[in-house]
Amino acid sequence: MSAGPRMTPLEMLARLVSFDTESQKSNLALVDFVEEYLTAWGVPVVRAPNAAGDKAALFATFGPVQDGGVVLSGHTDVVPVAGQSWTTNPFTLRVADGRAYGRGAVDMKGFCALALALAPDFQAASLRRPVHLLLSYDEETTCLGVADIIARLGRDLPRPGAVIVGEPTDLDVADAHKSIVTYVTTVHGHEAHSSKPALGANAVMAAAELVAELNRIADRMVARGDASGRFDPPYSTVHVGMIGGGTARNILPKSCEFLWEFRGLPDLDLTEIPALFAAKSEEVARERLNRHGPYGRIETVQDASVPGLAPEPGSPAERLAMRLAGRNRTVSVPYATEAGRFQVAGLPTVVCGPGSIDQAHQPDEYITLAALEAGEVFMRGLIRECAAG
């Protein structure tokens, strides 16, 4: 059953890359293409739009609609290209020297292209165990684009027995990664002449105390280390990435804003660092901002919280991915993924996909043709395994 010709993984990758799906933009043109393509091959598709209606996730099923299947999870959004020096148009796939160049080629439209290009083979295999393809959005910002579909698994959608998130790991099987939680802190002060500090509150100097506290918290995390010995760096990290405030050198700054994050080992209590920071914020507000009067306040807003992935030795997802990838051990990865959200929902999950994260987010991002070939072998192995029951 087909309304058009088959596509090779490279041809499919070229189509996916051609859609500019930077996270701040809509992914609906790509979603429309994928839905039309899969429907033409007789694959049932469920679309899950976001609240604004400008983005959507897709959940497609190959084989019987029943519990116990395997989810292949990939995101459709990519990081921005603004300010990067690309050799050619980042949204036109360029193949040269054994590599396929384009934004998202490795992170992670390559994985998605493999699953989609093999849709006719999944359909023709008379699968006894279903394989589901989940394409999400906003992974590069909040990892929330997968949440609506996850909430439906086991309700009006089949509950899978294993999830493989196809982020680039060179097909190593990753069973652990850190969490990431991001914040915006705004210190609200009160303007006055710099020669009369008692008439106001200096937001920048108060913010400096808070940044210094984050340095102390970071040092505490370094000293605590990584009991598992699996992560690089071997500790939870704390980082301030941007800061700005004030209007002139001789005016007490009215406000100062800084953006910060922590990336926690899987066993880190996600409330610990925010609690330490909140306690310091109360102290700084009381003793610095408001010591001359009720002049200031400190506001911290959480941007995103992505759970870590904790090892589950011998889980169905781990065993399956290791068989398919031909690996005999698991690894950890330093970046966050959607995998933690699946695990929090009680679904056995690993991260395993073609290509290297080293090429992601860079100008002239690429995936090697060899990595695509290895990924196709992985996918065809999954077809055989699920056809056998």
- CA 321 – CA 192 distance, rounded (Å): 62
213 as an active site residue: the answer is: no
Q: Check pLDDT > 90 for residue 81.
A: yes
E strands, 264-296, in order: none
pLDDT above 70 covers a percentage of the chain that reads 99
- CA 58 – CA 119 distance, rounded (Å): 14
User: With contact defined as beta carbons under 8 Å apart, do 365 and 300 qualify?
Assistant: no
Q: Where are the domains of the chain?
A: 9-177+308-388, 180-306
Class of the CATH domain delimited by 9-177+308-388? alpha beta
User: Which pairs with CB-CB distance under 8 Å and at least 24 residues apart come from 282-289?
Assistant: 284/206, 284/209, 284/210, 285/206, 288/201, 288/202, 288/205, 288/206, 288/209, 289/187, 289/188, 289/189, 289/201, 289/203, 289/206
Catalytic residue among 77, 107, 167, 191: 77
Q: Reduce the DSSP state of residue 245 to 3 states and report it.
A: strand
Residue bearing tokens 């996600």: 270
Residues in a beta bridge with 129: none
Token duo for residue 285: 């507000």
Q: Check pLDDT > 70 for residue 209.
A: yes
User: With contact defined as beta carbons under 8 Å apart, do 146 and 136 qualify?
Assistant: yes
Q: Check pLDDT > 60 for residue 232.
A: yes
156 as an active site residue: the answer is: no
Q: Check pLDDT > 70 for residue 2.
A: no
Average pLDDT for the chain: 97
Residues in the chain: 389
Q: Which fold has domain 180-306?
A: Alpha-Beta Plaits (3.30.70)
Q: What is the pLDDT of residues 360-376, one digit of tens each?
A: 999 999 999 999 999 99
- CA 307 – CA 181 distance, rounded (Å): 8
What DSSP string runs through 155-220?
Answer: TTBPPPSEEEE---STT-EEEEE--EEEEEEEEE-B--BTT-GGGSB-HHHHHHHHHHHHHHHHHH
Q: Reduce the DSSP state of residue 26 to 3 states and report it.
A: coil
Q: Residue 131: CB partners within 8 Å, gap ≥ 6?
A: 61, 62, 63, 69, 70, 71, 72, 122, 382, 383, 386
Q: Check pLDDT > 60 for residue 88.
A: yes
Q: What is the pLDDT of residues 326-343, one digit of tens each?
A: 999 999 998 999 999 999
Q: Check pLDDT > 70 for residue 77.
A: yes
Q: What is the pLDDT of residue 4?
A: 63
Q: What is the pLDDT of residue 239?
A: 97
Q: What is the pLDDT of residues 255-292, one digit of tens each?
A: 999 999 999 999 999 999 999 999 999 999 999 999 99
Q: Check pLDDT > 50 for residue 133.
A: yes
CA nearest to 335, candidates 199, 167, 217, 182 = 167
CA nearest to 119, candidates 39, 28, 15 = 39
Catalytic residue among 22, 138, 139, 172: 139
Q: What is the pLDDT of residue 5?
A: 77
8-state DSSP, 289:
I
8-state DSSP, 22:
B
Q: Check pLDDT > 90 for residue 389.
A: no
Burial level of 282, CB count in 10 A (0-12/13-18/19+)?
exposed
- CA 373 – CA 8 distance, rounded (Å): 11
> Which H or E run includes 330?
strand 330-333
Q: What is the pLDDT of residue 50?
A: 97
Q: What is the pLDDT of residues 17-74, one digit of tens each?
A: 999 999 999 999 999 999 999 999 999 999 999 999 999 999 999 999 999 999 999 9
Q: Residue 102: CB partners within 8 Å, gap ≥ 6?
A: 13, 14, 17, 90, 91, 92, 93, 94, 109, 365, 366
User: With contact defined as beta carbons under 8 Å apart, do 251 and 200 qualify?
Assistant: no
Q: What is the pLDDT of residue 1?
A: 45
> Which H or E run includes 38?
helix 28-40
